Chain A
Amino acid sequence: MTQQTMLISTVIAVMTGVLIGLSTAILWQHWRSRRFRVRHEIPNILGGWRCQWFDDALNSDKPKIEDTIEIKRWVSNGEFVARGYQPQFHLSYPMVGDIDPSRVVTLIYKAGRYPYEPNRGVICMELSRDGTTMKGRWFGRRFSGQLGGGKVTLVRMSESPATL
């Protein structure tokens, strides 16, 4: 009985320790991210964005694809995780990104079923002063297999305030 009690106490102590460790790590990352963004006056870009992808190869003013991107959470410093939703092809794809003090936003996207459908690329954009639009370029592998690129525009969907 005493041994059982000791074992249970040890397991509870270990689990409490792990939970405290994890919570501290998460809070520390959040604090670092917030400090970085406040110091460099980086606006909060979390939320939904309407996205238009143009292709240089098509030579058209109309976007090749339109979808939405949700920037979900800050990870560390200016780094964040996001997810793209493509209703036309019923796709959802993960993204990781970074915003730097000069308001340049970089994103790396992967295909919905990466690595089995290896389709990936990069986006580099500038965030507008009011924090409501991002404009830049994408480069990556097309469905044809060739590397290509084009313009990309993101417009904030919700009216969430651009706080730090």
Chain B
Amino acid sequence: MSYFGLLAESSADKNLTTTIITAVATILAALIGKVSWDKVFSVLRRRQFNIPEIMKTRWNADWRHDDGTQFIEDKVAFSKWTRKSQFEGHGEATYGDKEYTYPIVGEVSPNRIVVLTYKAEKYPTEANIGMAALELSSDAEQLDGYWVGRASIEKDGRKMYTLRRGTVKMKKIRS
């Protein structure tokens, strides 16, 4: 084989090797990118601070005004961890014959304080927003605390919206 023939063969080999390396690197990058790093960091953080697993659970929630009268009794579901010890969920409330689902976002802190923010089903057009600060029991079966949020109040036969508050108790529903 001539000198130029050898050079061409060597160049073709190099090109093939480069192509293979690039392809492998692309596949590896795609696989690494596919891993949800937020989920990985969330698991590590929850392990580090011994935060109990409360996702994929449903809870009976009893929301009361500060005078002890009932505001609403509904169901709350915690769906998935999002990042660190933050999570997403939703509430299911029934007003009359209609069922409403409203989104919830929250976070569990290392000392088992759970903070929640809830918004109305059709937020922001039906703006209704509120928060809760709760303490998770040591067996992770109960949440007790307080809520504060925008809610309606009847005054002189008229419906008015104002900030209201009270207590909230949640009990895990066993399936």
A and B associate: yes
> When the two chains form their complex, are residues B148 and A100 in contact, meaning their CB atoms are under 8 A apart?
no
For B132, list chain A residues within 8 Å (CB). Answer: 122, 139
A-B contact count (CB 8 A): 98
> When the two chains form their complex, are residues B133 and A139 in contact, meaning their CB atoms are under 8 A apart?
yes
- A147 and B145 in contact (CB under 8 A), knowing A118-B110, A124-B163? yes
- A106 and B115 in contact (CB under 8 A), knowing A125-B163, A139-B146, A149-B146? no
Q: Which of A49-96 contact B (CB under 8 A)?
A: 77-78
For A77, list chain B residues within 8 Å (CB). Answer: 124
- A120 and B163 in contact (CB under 8 A), knowing A100-B124, A136-B148, A147-B146? no
> When the two chains form their complex, are residues A118 and B150 in contact, meaning their CB atoms are under 8 A apart?
no
How near does chain B come to A43, taking the closest CB pair, in angstroms?
15
Main secondary structure of the interface of A (DSSP, over half): strand
Q: CA–CA, A163 to B5, complex, Å?
A: 75
Main secondary structure of the interface of B (DSSP, over half): strand
> When the two chains form their complex, are residues A120 and B117 in contact, meaning their CB atoms are under 8 A apart?
no
> When the two chains form their complex, are residues A98 and B129 in contact, meaning their CB atoms are under 8 A apart?
yes
Which B residues lie at the A interface, using CB under 8 A? 49, 107, 109-111, 113, 115, 117, 119, 123-124, 127-135, 144-150, 161-163, 165
Cross-chain pairs A/B with CB under 8 angstroms, 14 sampled: A100-B119, A100-B150, A104-B127, A108-B107, A115-B109, A118-B110, A120-B113, A120-B115, A122-B132, A139-B131, A139-B165, A140-B113, A141-B113, A147-B146
